[in-house]
């Protein structure tokens, strides 16, 4: 059984996110194929714990650039003969001793438009565990294998001017990974009516929102935005989300938590990116909302005919090694109040005349439509935003997290 499979789910998720970050950085830095294969082998063998690995890819002929555990003759396996029939991740049945794949338990093909780019073979797995705890691990390995294979194929096809098509496949896979970290549902009960919208300007983006139930009577929610766009921003945000959720389980003091998050972003981003964050903790019994705004566009709260902009906090995360000035805001939420959190892609979008959507227009719409449900308000706001934008290209990702408090 893999040592990796004994780790708790939270640690395994962290390891997976770190592995994705390693691969993405290498791709973005235009690492050579040899370096990408070295990173790939290290992730599979040292980080994920697979002890028998064989990976072949096509570069004029089939080659085996990754091969761990040399007590069998890999040259016996002919991909065009022995592997061509595999179209998806396959757990091999026990085979005859003379079978060419006798040393392996799993085959993971990488194909694009029906064409085989590579095959990954894994052996020495606990067959009793493959279909249970190993299944999620193998699906993650399949994602990593696709990203690595597509990146290397991009290099091979660069002179033929087809890199963009292969990059599209990479982004589709990254989008699948990112979707794992966005809440699939939000609460709609006697206390809250939450609704969200997420519109990345590319296939994947650097916006993030979340809802975390701390107890039956207390919840936490947040919205964040990574500087920049694309794969690197999305993976940094996924890494950030995993760390936030891990720390919330042991530390719900907002100021201390935000300080920890800043330390993490400084280490993870190395000064290349920063994250703006709005994070809040709401207590149902006394209707008190405590929040910290770390350089994020200030959420807007409508209570009756009054508009309140939530600005108390600090600078964006990762801008400074230490947050020298950090404060939290504390407000009482009246029944029926409507809170709108958003990212800068909404208010900074310009129309054909060069006028941005702006927070003033958001506030006006909120006052005029304060009785709508959270979902209906979001739909109305996106319609108005789309009308404002007209034929202008989207400047940035747009995310909304709206809540009606009861």
Whether residue 173 sits in one domain with residue 86: yes
Whether residue 194 sits in one domain with residue 148: no
Q: For residue 375, give the CATH number of its domain.
A: 3.60.40.10
Whether residue 262 sits in one domain with residue 148: no
Q: Enter the tokens of residue 298.
A: 């200030």
Give the model's pLDDT for residue 310: 97
**Residues 169-188: tens digit of each pLDDT:** 766 766 666 666 678 789 89
pLDDT-based confidence at 1, cuts 50/70/90? Answer: very low
Question: How far is it, in rounded angstroms, from Cα 366 to Cα 205?
Answer: 26
Which of 160, 178, 196 lies at the terminal end of a domain, its last residue? 178
Specify the pTM. 0.60
Which of 142, 162, 178 lies at the terminal end of a domain, its last residue? 178
- Residue 219's alpha-carbon distances to 96, 248, 298, 355, 359, in angstroms, are 56, 11, 20, 37, 27
Give the model's pLDDT for residue 195: 96
Question: How far is it, in rounded angstroms, from Cα 279 to Cα 323?
Answer: 16
**Residues 122-155: tens digit of each pLDDT:** 988 876 666 655 677 888 899 999 999 988 888 7
Whether residue 196 sits in one domain with residue 167: no
Average pLDDT over residues 197-206: 80
Whether residue 30 sits in one domain with residue 126: yes
Which single residue is written with the structure tokens 């993030």?
208
Would you say how long the chain is, in residues? 406
Domain that holds residue 137: 4-178
Q: Which of 51, 103, 67 is nearest to 82 (CA)?
A: 103
Question: How far is it, in rounded angstroms, from Cα 402 to Cα 278?
Answer: 13
Please answer whether residues 292 and 275 qualify as being in contact, where contact means their C-beta atoms are separated by less than 8 angstroms.
Answer: no
**Residues 20-57: tens digit of each pLDDT:** 888 888 888 888 889 999 999 999 988 888 888 999 99
Whether residue 274 sits in one domain with residue 187: yes
Whether residue 25 sits in one domain with residue 160: yes
Whether residue 115 sits in one domain with residue 84: yes
Q: Enter the tokens of residue 406.
A: 């009861």
Domain count of the fold of the chain: 2
Whether residue 228 sits in one domain with residue 198: yes
Strands 313-314 and 288-294: parallel
Average pLDDT over residues 82-101: 81
Whether residue 170 sits in one domain with residue 188: no
Whether residue 321 sits in one domain with residue 226: yes
Strands 313-314 and 306-309: unpaired
Q: For residue 51, give the CATH number of its domain.
A: 3.30.450.40
Binning the chain into helix, strand and coil, the percentages to the nearest 5 are 40, 25, 35
Give the model's pLDDT for residue 112: 80
| Position 296 pLDDT exceeds 70 | yes
Q: Enter the tokens of residue 294.
A: 């770390």
Which of 126, 148, 178 lies at the terminal end of a domain, its last residue? 178
Whether residue 219 sits in one domain with residue 150: no
Burial of 205 (C-beta count, 10 Å sphere; 0-12/13-18/19+): buried
Give the model's pLDDT for residue 235: 79
Q: Enter the tokens of residue 243.
A: 């760390």
């Amino acid at each position: 059984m893999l040592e990796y499979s004994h780790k708790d789910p939270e640690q395994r998720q962290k390891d997976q996110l770190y592995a994705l970050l390693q691969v993405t950085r290498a791709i973005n830095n235009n690492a050579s194929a040899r370096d990408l294969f070295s990173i790939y082998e290290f992730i599979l063998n040292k980080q994920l714990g697979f002890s028998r690995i064989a990976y072949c890819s096509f570069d004029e002929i089939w080659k085996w650039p990754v091969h761990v555990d040399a007590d069998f003759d890999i040259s016996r396996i002919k991909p065009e003969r022995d592997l061509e029939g595999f179209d998806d991740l396959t757990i091999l049945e026990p085979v005859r001793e003379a079978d060419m794949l006798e040393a392996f338990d799993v085959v993971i093909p990488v194909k694009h438009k029906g064409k085989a780019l590579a095959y990954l073979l894994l052996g020495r797995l606990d067959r009793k565990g493959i279909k249970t705890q190993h299944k999620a691990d193998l699906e993650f390995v399949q994602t990593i294998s696709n990203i690595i294979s597509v990146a290397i194929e991009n290099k091979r096809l660069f002179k033929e001017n087809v890199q963009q098509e292969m990059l599209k496949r990479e982004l589709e896979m990254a989008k699948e990974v990112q979707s794992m970290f966005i809440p699939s549902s939000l609460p709609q009960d006697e206390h809250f009516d939450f609704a969200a919208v997420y519109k990345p300007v590319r296939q994947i983006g650097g916006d993030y929102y979340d809802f975390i139930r701390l107890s039956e009577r207390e919840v936490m929610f947040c919205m964040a935005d990574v500087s920049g766009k694309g794969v690197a921003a999305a993976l940094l945000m996924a890494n950030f989300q995993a760390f936030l959720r891990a720390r919330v389980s042991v530390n719900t003091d907002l100021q201390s938590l935000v300080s920890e998050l800043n330390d993490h972003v400084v280490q993870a981003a190395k000064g290349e990116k920063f994250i703006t964050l709005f994070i809040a903790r709401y207590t149902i019994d006394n209707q008190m909302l405590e929040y910290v705004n770390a350089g994020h566009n200030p959420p807007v709260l409508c209570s009756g005919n009054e508009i309140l902009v939530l600005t108390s906090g600090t600078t964006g995360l990762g801008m400074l090694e230490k947050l020298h000035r950090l404060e939290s805001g504390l407000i009482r939420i009246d029944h029926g109040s409507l809170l709108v959190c958003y990212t800068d892609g909404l208010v900074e979008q310009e129309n054909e005349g060069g006028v941005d959507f702006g927070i003033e227009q958001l506030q006006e719409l909120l006052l005029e439509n304060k009785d709508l449900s959270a979902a209906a308000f979001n739909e109305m706001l996106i319609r108005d935003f789309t009308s404002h934008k007209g034929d202008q290209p989207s400047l940035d990702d747009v995310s909304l997290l709206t809540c009606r408090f009861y």
